[in-house]
A and B are shown apart, each in its own frame.
Chain A
Amino acid sequence: MESLALRRDGVIQDMLGQVDEAMRDLIDEISCHSVARTATGHRASHTAQLKMSSDCRDVLLGSLIRVLAGELLFPVPDSKDVFESVQGLRERLTSLLKTIEPMGWSTNDEVAGMGASRHTHCNPFTALAQKIEETARHVVDPQTVWDGEHITRHMLERAQRTGCQGIQLRNSTT
């Protein structure tokens, strides 16, 4: 026998794990690059591409932490501490990943004389958002279905009559 909740927890864990992994990858790359720069004395012989990538990583990591913290998702929580639906979390994560603008890149562009379009390949979050979408795409989780028309209509009708809290069916256990 299997538990429905375990399935839900697993999917949420997968999605949060992907975000966590992306963040750790950035940290690792920044660390490695710093070591490399120290070892080479940060010589001017570094290519412009390498320097730009390093700047991008810094900006990306900072931006990611900023948006995650704004959604109370930093440090990345354990799935047991997430009470919203799979689809709700998917929507929230993908939306916030798409809001990460290349903040600071335009300044660098001016210095480097490069167009913003040159940075599209630097942004890993588009792919991450797609990956999260894929993870949650086929999952029908119970809380999402509770938002179905029949149940929502029933709860709202009863709430109007009893004065109870009939709104916010999702995320309401937090």
Chain B
Amino acid sequence: MASPPLTSDMEALSLGVADAPPPSNRAMTVLDQEGDLRLEIGPEHAPFLVDSRALARVSPVWRRSLFGDAATTQRVQGRPWIVQLPDDDEQALGFLLGVAHGVLPRSPESVRHDEVCALSVTAAKFDMVHLLRPWAEGWCASLMKAGVTSFRGCADRLRVGWELGHAMLFNSMAMQILTDIEVTGDGRLVDPDGEPLSSNPSFASVDLLRTWTRVSTASRVEC
């Protein structure tokens, strides 16, 4: 699963509305036989038939986006209600939609470590993190135990800790990251490959860059 783009969970989503049936040849995932909304997720427009009210019930983001005053999509009588989400992760959002409809397309225990990050980020984007409550602690504990071999892995897990509110994972990963990042002459924080941390979505969302930059500045002044 790839990390979806960032969106404040306090804002309505910008949903793409399709006027015509999409060019998808994927089989429809039916989460509600009586569903009134067709979501097309990811670059392949994977179709999901869902109940719009079920989504509105579990998430204020969905509620505002589908039914609020600032709704970015409106149902037109006599036409299928189709919303496209091309930038989102099909598997992650599909999992969350399933939970919202009481359907688990796969066992949560089978979710891989790299998938937990996409799930956490997607859940935060759509304000659905509470749906992960039965598994969040277990996933984070498992990530804590697993060895991290890359800076990217640490960054992903930091993001998971942040999105799911797991302080131990968040703290642990931040400490590991701190041993690897460096400060350039002009005060920018960079990873071991010299890439600016500001270009990494994991750090852009977690409000640590500003903090760490301030810290590095203070340390430099003191030194």
A sample of 6 cross-chain residue pairs with beta-carbon separation below 8 angstroms, ordered by A number, consists of A4-B181, A5-B175, A158-B165, A163-B133, A164-B165, A172-B167
| Segment at the B interface, from A29-37, A103-111, A120-128, A140-148 | A140-148
Q: Is the CB of A163 within 8 A of B219?
A: no
Chain B residues with Cβ under 8 A from A150's Cβ? 207
How many cross-chain pairs have Cβ atoms below 8 Å apart between A and B?
126
Q: Encode A127-141 as 1/0 by CB contact (under 8 A) with B.
A: 000000000001111
**Cβ-based interface call for B137 (8 A):** yes
**Cβ-based interface call for B218 (8 A):** yes
Q: Encode B141-173 as 1/0 by CB contact (under 8 A) with A.
A: 000000000000000000000111111101110
**Cβ-based interface call for A160 (8 A):** yes
**Cβ-based interface call for B2 (8 A):** no
**Cβ-based interface call for A117 (8 A):** no
Q: Is the CB of A164 within 8 A of B174?
A: no
If A2-B183, A151-B207 touch, does A162 touch B167 (CB 8 Å cutoff)? Answer: no
Taking A146-B171, A162-B129, A162-B137 as known contacts, 8 extra A-B pairs with beta carbons closer than 8 A to each other, sorted by chain A number, are A1-B184, A1-B190, A2-B183, A3-B181, A143-B171, A145-B214, A146-B174, A162-B166
Q: Is the CB of B171 within 8 A of A139?
A: no
**Cβ-based interface call for B61 (8 A):** no
If A2-B220, A139-B222, A173-B175 touch, does A159 touch B166 (CB 8 Å cutoff)? Answer: yes
Q: Is the CB of A4 within 8 A of B211?
A: no
Chain A residues with Cβ under 8 A from B175's Cβ? 5, 83, 143, 173
Q: Please measure, in the bound complex, the distance between the C-alpha atom of A172 and the C-alpha atom of B165, giving whole angstroms.
A: 13
CB of A138 to closest CB in B, whole Å: 5
Residues on B facing A (Cβ under 8 Å) = 129-130, 132-133, 136-137, 140, 162-168, 170-172, 174-175, 178-185, 190, 207-208, 211-212, 214-216, 218-220, 222-223
If A4-B219, A142-B215, A145-B214 touch, does A159 touch B167 (CB 8 Å cutoff)? Answer: yes
Interface SS of chain B: helix, strand, loop or mixed? helix
Q: Is the CB of B136 within 8 A of A163?
A: yes
Chain A residues with Cβ under 8 A from B211's Cβ? 142, 145-146, 148, 151
Residues on A facing B (Cβ under 8 Å) = 1-5, 7-8, 83, 138-143, 145-146, 148, 150-151, 154-170, 172-173
- Going nearest first, the 8 A-B pairs with the smallest beta carbon separation are A158-B165, A159-B165, A1-B182, A162-B136, A164-B166, A5-B178, A161-B130, A5-B179
Nearest-neighbor residue (CB-CB) of B211 within chain A: A145
Q: Is the CB of B166 within 8 A of A161?
A: no
Q: Is the CB of A155 within 8 A of B218?
A: no
Q: Is the CB of A167 within 8 A of B167?
A: yes
Q: Is the CB of A166 within 8 A of B165?
A: yes
Chain A residues with Cβ under 8 A from B222's Cβ? 138-139
Nearest-neighbor residue (CB-CB) of A6 within chain B: B179
Q: Please measure, in the bound complex, the distance between the C-alpha atom of A156 and the C-alpha atom of B168, giving whole angstroms.
A: 12
- Residue among A5, A145, A148, A158 with max Cβ neighbours from chain B (10 Å): A158
Which one of A4, A83, A161, A166 lies within 8 Å of B216 (CB-CB)? A4
CB of A157 to closest CB in B, whole Å: 7
Q: Is the CB of A158 within 8 A of B181?
A: no
CB of B99 to closest CB in A, whole Å: 13
Chain B residues with Cβ under 8 A from A138's Cβ? 218, 222
